[in-house]
Structure 1
Amino acid sequence: LIDLTGNGGGSQWAEAAARIVSPFSLRSERLGFVRGAHWVAHWQSLAAELRQAAGHASGQDRARLTRWALEVDRAQAEARTSCLSTPLWSGQHPECEWLGHDFYATGVLAQADAAALRAKGWGSLVFSPAEYDFEEAVWHGPLLVLVDSNTGSAAEEFAAVLQDNKAAAVIGAPTAGGGCGHTNGGTPTTLSHSRAVLELPDCARIRPDGSNEVGGIDPDVLVGFRATDGMRRKGLRLMKALPRGLAVAAGLCRGGRCESRQPSERAGPDRKRRTNRS
């Protein structure tokens, strides 16, 4: 049981952490990005880094890096195609799509061997878990993730990727709906009259059913936590629902998908390249 109650999020370490406890390879959510100069700059920088890496690579690696750089170029072109939000203020739908949809919460790749990419040096450019030194699949057994209304942002990302891949059952209350967050510092806007600074998310994580993670994570097993519950009351409510949660988690392990084992070694988060999208 992994307790994420009250966990407001953090960084892209969530994607690596999910892969530590998942018994099998995970496929991450699609990324939606707000079209505009902020994401143009992001994709432009990434394409340049990929081409620089390609210049020092050879063979298959050079070909892959060059291909990925071209794919990022297409994302950059999409980001340049603006979509005005004016119709939204009058309750109308804009004629264009507000978000661009290229790549994934983990980067260019949704699924990959993080250790193999980490050894490349440039691996984190295309798959964010490769930033960290960790061992995948150290737990091969039924997995429960406990959430509540104060579970948000990157903690929701952790729960969602496990739930979407049927690697864990989620138990608790619907989450906060913090969503994707602010990439590379976000897009703070100073209002002209009040001088207040408005910060809005510049990205979205899109789940396999097409829903935006900002809607929150609905548990597989609902527990009726209340805002006024203390630790003891929450514990009592959880204990009543725990047998159902364990049954759902065990069901995900049918057919030999999971079996308990101990990790061969323990590895902590060794941050290699900065990301900031929670």
Structure 2
Amino acid sequence: MQPSQPVTFDATALGHYIAQCETKVYEQAVANVFGFHALQLGWSGYDLLAQCRIPYKHYLHGQFTKDSSMCCEPEYLPLAENSVDLICLPHVLEQCHDPQQTLREAFRVLVPEGTLILTGITPFSCLGLRARAGWFKQAGAFKRLFTARRIRDWLNVLGFEIVESHHLMHALPINDQHWLERQTRLEKWGACTFGMTGGVYFLVAKKRVLHVRLLKPDWKKSPLNKALQTQKSRTRIQNKVQKQLKCADVDTKLD
């Protein structure tokens, strides 16, 4: 299976505008995630983990670049089970051959209570209609566009819990930097439409593991073994000494 050509959003002004909008949201989301290992799939030209506080960051791409840690397909991640705390999937499901297998791999690799962040183009928006008409052919290739509702259903079946969901890119998809910058009012108005005009959906999910019971400490129970406690032995010795002193006092009184 040959690796698919990644979509390079820098090829056009509209793609660069979309990448800037998503990068800001990714930076805010990853700043509140903690752990040891973070993983970014795709988008070799952008560092979505720049504001992440996780110490070990890994970048996996379909093709070798100067920023990639390793080259692999998103359907088959060369990582151990329960080893990653954060995974970012920017427009990966739209480009891979099997998006459901990609989500299964993400669930396998994530630790319990791990975080999955993904973005994609809404197919029935203005941006989605333009992408389906072949606008992205000059920048890359999308296999298929999925709605946010379908992605949420797949995540719920696997065992994820959606903790955050909203839409971005409410401006008209005009491939001109000057006209895109003048649509700030549409972006503010689109935030009040509950995502009906958003061209890009943004999802944050948590990996939930059933039948997990937190072991809480029993504060009433003594942490030391009774055989190792010295306080009781001291009281016994003191009681014996007090009894001997009482017997001595009785003897002196009788004398």
Q: Same fold (TM over 0.5)?
A: no
Q: Which has the higher strand share?
A: 2
| TM-score, normalisation: structure 2 | 0.25
| TM-score, normalisation: structure 1 | 0.24
- Larger relative contact order (CA 8 Å, sep ≥ 6): 1
* Rg larger in structure: 2
